[in-house]
Amino acid sequence: MSAAFHLRLRTQPALRLDLAGITPTAMAGQDAAAFARRPLWHGNEALPLGEFFDVRVLADEAPTLVFEGDLGRCDGVGRAMDGGSLRVEGDVGDYLGAQLSAGEIRVSGSAGLLAACELAGGRLEVEGDVGDHAASALPGDMDGMRGGLFIVRGNVGARFGDRMRRGTVLIFGNAGDFLASRMVAGTIAVAGETGAHCGYAMRRGSLVFAGPPPAIPATFAATGHDIRVFWALLARSLAAHGGPFEGLAGWRPQRLVGDLSADGKGEWLLPG
């Protein structure tokens, strides 16, 4: 029995393929043949995983899954994962890492819609771009990202961090419209440009702008609070991820609070 597997996509599915439930800990202790018989929803039909993937056992002892190929039509990769390591060598579809509570997911390509929704723990890192509604609430739910670390090396779509409640996000590229809309708590640091309506109805939480500052709406106001101790701790934690965040410790940031139209106590930290 093995705890580590390599799955190479054999053929592109004609319909969306649901990989929810295929996690390192759930698959640990199986052999390759049993793994290949695991049913996957392909449209409204359940088909064995082996019809789409070649399964090979790896030598790793820790629970590990490695996917190879263009998984752009594969949704739910790492959904509800609770431990272990998952790596994707290519793109993935929607719901990447949704409800992740522990473990690590790394994607070398880009991800579709609703990545990291309700993420509660662990680490999710995407080398490319992510689509709309990432780090937000799942459809029908009220709470967005709840903890953990989410790193996006590329750009993010609209409504990123909607209703986010906890956790840390670093965006190395640009962000779409309504970044951090209705944000409740947590930290989002963005290095690139931001779209329209940033921080709409933001209640609490922190937005750090390491790149071009966004247009400041009338519902955000400057404050004169001394945040040097808080900023030293926050800047140090973000600088550890390098790139455009490395020089944050040398800032003396400007602080704004809002969204005052929603009685918000969120904060924006901009280059001073």
What are the tokens at 30? 């199986």
Beta bridge partners of 218: none
Q: What mean pLDDT do residues 146-150 have?
A: 98
> Mean pLDDT score of the chain, rounded to an integer?
95
Establish if 65 belongs to a structural domain. Answer: no
| Whether pLDDT at 125 is above 90 | yes
**pTM confidence score:** 0.95
% the chain with pLDDT above 90: 90
Look at residues 234, 238, 131 and name the one whose alpha carbon lies nearest to residue 191.
Answer: 238
Establish if 67 belongs to a structural domain. Answer: no
Establish if 52 belongs to a structural domain. Answer: no
Q: What mean pLDDT do residues 36-51 have?
A: 96
Q: What mean pLDDT do residues 85-100 have?
A: 98
Domain count, the chain: 1
Task: Tell me 243's DSSP state.
Answer: G
Q: What band does 127 get if pLDDT is binned at 50, 70 and 90? A: very high
Least confident of 93-107, 141-155, 191-205, 247-261: 247-261
Q: What band does 2 get if pLDDT is binned at 50, 70 and 90? A: confident
The pLDDT value given to residue 224: 85
How far is it, in rounded angstroms, from Cα 9 to Cα 108?
A: 15
pLDDT digits (tens, 9 = 90+) for 214-257: 999 999 999 988 898 999 999 999 999 999 999 998 888 999 99
The residue ranges of DSSP E strands in the chain, in sequence order, are: 4-9, 17-18, 39-42, 45-48, 53-57, 64-68, 74-75, 82-89, 102-107, 123-126, 146-152, 166-171, 187-190, 206-209, 221-222, 254-258, 266-270
Around Cβ 251, how many Cβ atoms within 10 Å? 15
The pLDDT value given to residue 1: 60
pLDDT digits (tens, 9 = 90+) for 159-206: 999 999 999 999 999 999 999 999 999 999 999 999 999 999 999 999
Q: Residue 148 is part of which domain span?
A: 110-270
Establish if 88 belongs to a structural domain. Answer: no
Q: Assess contact for 16 and 43: CB atoms under 8 A.
A: yes
Q: Assess contact for 158 and 174: CB atoms under 8 A.
A: no
